[in-house]
A and B are shown apart, each in its own frame.
Chain A
Amino acid sequence: MKKNTILFTMITFLLIGIITIGSSFSDNDFAIDQENNPLTAPHFDENESKAAFDKMMTVLEHKRCVNCHPSGAIPRQGEDSHLHNFDVKRGEAGQGLAAYSCNTCHSDQNNDYSGVPGAPHWSLAPEEMAWEGKTRIEIATQMMDSKRNGGRSHEDIMHHLTEHELVLWAWNPGVDAEGNPREKPPVPKDEYIQAVKQWIELGAVIPSE
């Protein structure tokens, strides 16, 4: 009888311990929110998401995008993504230096006379948004990380990628100084926009490979 009482007491304390430890964690700590988990959502199609992701990233990895997402202080330019002539610098705000800014040469439109490209808000992406030298997985992870994307939500990113004039300039890149047309991204603009929207609507799932 005494033995059973001790056993009962031990089991009681054990159960209380388990309940106490368990209740100290919230759902956010480790439980997956099944309702909002894109991987288990009823409409989620992994192949569809991956295809949209790949199409989008084929554009974002293109030189028309990466040239202005450099990893250093100097922009890239041209079809071979060489360092910008004269080592022009990004400056504190990504718009050049006090007396030599992007707008010293670049305006709001391409200039077919000089071959200098232009679009509204011509500037560099901040250093924390550097894409140069990164894989598409790394670029996407960084792009969707609100700590490294300027606090943008998924919806903000979707609008930026599909509506911003500087982003869409990639499909209207004008001609270079010799009059040769600059290369456009390998995916048509409409298909790219559709892919971005689809990927984000499907939960913005970044594939592991």
Chain B
Amino acid sequence: MKVSFNINGEQKTVEVSDGNSPLLWAIRDGVGLKGTKFGCGKAACGACTIHVDGNAVRSCSFPVRMAEGKEITTIEGLSNDGVLHPVQQAWMDEVVPQCGYCQPGFMMATAAMLDKIPNPTDEDIDNNIINVCRCGTYYRMRKAIHRAAELNTKKNNSESTQ
């Protein structure tokens, strides 16, 4: 079957033999975007987190057939015209990654959260960002998430006054 979707602003069609196969495979092997990582394959660790119509989903457990006609964003599409997304900037400012493998998933989950909760409390972060980092960068990520919220607010205020 063929499945068409918009990914990072580009229309793409992939051909799959099983509509229930993970969207992750279609993104990595079909579209060729390797930023989204395979972690556990059980929708538990969150390394494969992407946005589908603005909501965070675990792409290892998202059937590709359900992507038909959807708007998909991966880590490659988080920045806009070369300008880093506030989450990416904050991640750099706070030097969050160690090995880095899980970080795209964390950043996508954080970006989705900031769209819905612009100024998250520590409790909001604990409840909504439940990905897994084997390097244990959680402490730095918490700081980066608060930093990203500040940058995001500034960016939105700046855009609204222009």
Contact = CB atoms under 8 A, between A and B. Distances in A.
Contacts of A115: 42
Interface string B119-135: 00000000111100000
A107 B128 contact: no
Interface in A70-128: 85-89, 97-101, 103-109, 111-116
Contacts of A97: 127-128
Interface stretch (B26-34, B52-60, B68-76, B85-93): B52-60
Size range of the chain B interface in the assembly: 20 to 34
Nearest to A91: B127
Which residue, B57, B58, B113, B127, has most C-beta atoms of chain A within 10 A? B127
Nearest to B117: A98
A8 B128 CA distance: 82
Q: Summarize A's interface: helix, strand, loop or mixed.
A: loop
Interface of A: 85-89, 97-101, 103-109, 111-116, 177
B127 A111 contact: no
A80 to B, nearest CB: 17
A177 B45 CA distance: 13
Contacts of A111: 20, 22, 43, 61, 63
B107 interface: no
B63 A99 contact: no
Interface of B: 20-22, 41-44, 49, 55-58, 60-63, 66, 109, 112-113, 115-117, 127-130
Given A88-B130, A100-B56, A104-B57, A109 B63 contact: yes
A113 B128 contact: no
Given A100-B127, A106-B61, A114-B60, 5 more contacts: A87-B130, A100-B113, A100-B128, A114-B22, A116-B43
B130 A114 contact: no
Given A98-B113, A100-B129, A114 B56 contact: no
Contacts of B22: 111, 113-114
A98 B116 CA distance: 6
B44 A112 contact: no
A99 B112 contact: yes
Given A100-B128, A105-B43, A107-B66, A112 B56 contact: no
Nearest to A87: B130
Contacts of A98: 113, 116-117, 128
A177 B39 CA distance: 13
Contacts of B62: 107
Which residue, B43, B57, B117, has most C-beta atoms of chain A within 10 A? B43
Nearest to A111: B61
A116 B42 contact: yes
A113 B60 CA distance: 8
26 contacts: A86-B44, A86-B130, A88-B130, A97-B127, A98-B116, A98-B117, A99-B56, A99-B128, A99-B129, A100-B113, A100-B127, A104-B43, A107-B63, A108-B66, A111-B20, A111-B22, A111-B61, A112-B20, A113-B21, A113-B22, A113-B61, A114-B43, A114-B58, A116-B42, A177-B41, A177-B42
